[in-house]
């Protein structure tokens, strides 16, 4: 079973860059999307339904902003949109698809880089998200998405110069360590210990061509699922966004 996560930075923009044909070639069973930047009525359901996917869409109330989605070829037994906290749910931050053996989440955590106010919002989100997952830690979870945090120095191209940058602050990194201690596994880092693997690059500085990036997109799984994990890779050849998608393969 192949599961992809991808911050598409606007689903319409990604489609114009060949996203649909690329997705078909991946033969992914499930796809978690972030920053879809589109409302439910405008979402191009038929493009993905033609590939065999059911589309679960959770947009932000604000037009052209945020939002998450799950595309799945396996019908879920339950769909859960949001976390019952209005200030997060109106930004479309969390959507879940519940299956017999696990719960799949597509999550988009706040960036915090635009202002002190948004950084404060992000820190509160981290606290609430920890509590949200803590209540579900006895479930088999697959949490995919853009966390807007580099966990370790190996996950960022220049840890020294970014030591005070939102996304690499000590309190964010410590939160991530504690979050994993809920019984979660960072699939990519579990199977790949080499440096220079990133999932986001600053477009304005041309950082991608120099591979001066950040690994802020993750696929976390409950440790109960570790024996099923076969592969975890970053699909860095995909150029539909300022992010690269990641993929895990699990035994059915």
User: Which amino acids are annotated catalytic?
Assistant: 146
Query: Which three-class secondary structure state does DSSP give residue 250?
Result: strand
Backbone region of residue 219 per phi and psi (left: phi > 0; alpha: psi in -120 to 50; beta: other values): beta
Tell me how many degrees the CA angle 173-109-235 measures, rounded to the nearest 5: 85
For β-strands 30-34 and 2-7, DSSP reports them as: parallel
Alpha helix ranges (H) inside 43-101: 45-49, 86-89
What sign does the CA torsion over 100, 23, 213, 9 have?
Answer: negative
DSSP result, 191-231 = H---S---SEE-GGGTHHHHT-EE--EEEEEEGGGGGGEEE
């Amino acid at each position: 079973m192949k599961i992809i996560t991808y911050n598409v930075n606007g689903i319409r923009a990604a489609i114009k860059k060949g996203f649909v044909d690329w997705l078909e070639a991946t033969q992914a069973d499930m796809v978690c999307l972030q920053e879809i930047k589109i409302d439910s009525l405008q979402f191009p359901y038929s493009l993905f339904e033609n590939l065999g996917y059911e589309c679960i869409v959770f947009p932000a109330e604000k037009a052209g902003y945020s939002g998450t989605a799950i595309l799945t070829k396996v019908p879920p037994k339950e769909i859960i949109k949001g976390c019952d906290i209005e200030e997060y749910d109106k930004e479309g931050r969390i959507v879940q698809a519940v299956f017999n053996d696990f719960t799949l989440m597509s999550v988009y955590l706040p960036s915090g880089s635009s202002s002190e106010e948004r950084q404060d919002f992000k820190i509160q989100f981290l606290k609430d998200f920890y509590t949200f997952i803590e209540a579900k830690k006895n479930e088999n979870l697959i949490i995919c998405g853009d966390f807007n945090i580099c966990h370790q120095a190996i996950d960022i191209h220049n840890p020294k110069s970014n030591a005070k940058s939102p996304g690499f602050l000590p309190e964010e990194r410590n939160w991530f360590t504690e979050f994993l201690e809920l019984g979660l596994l960072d699939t990519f880092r579990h199977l790949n210990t080499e440096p220079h693997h990133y999932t986001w690059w600053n477009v304005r500085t041309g950082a991608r061509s120099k591979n001066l990036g950040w690994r802020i997109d993750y696929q976390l799984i409950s440790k109960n699922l570790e024996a099923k994990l076969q592969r975890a890779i970053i699909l860095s050849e995909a150029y539909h966004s300022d992010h690269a998608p990641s993929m895990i393969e699990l035994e059915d």
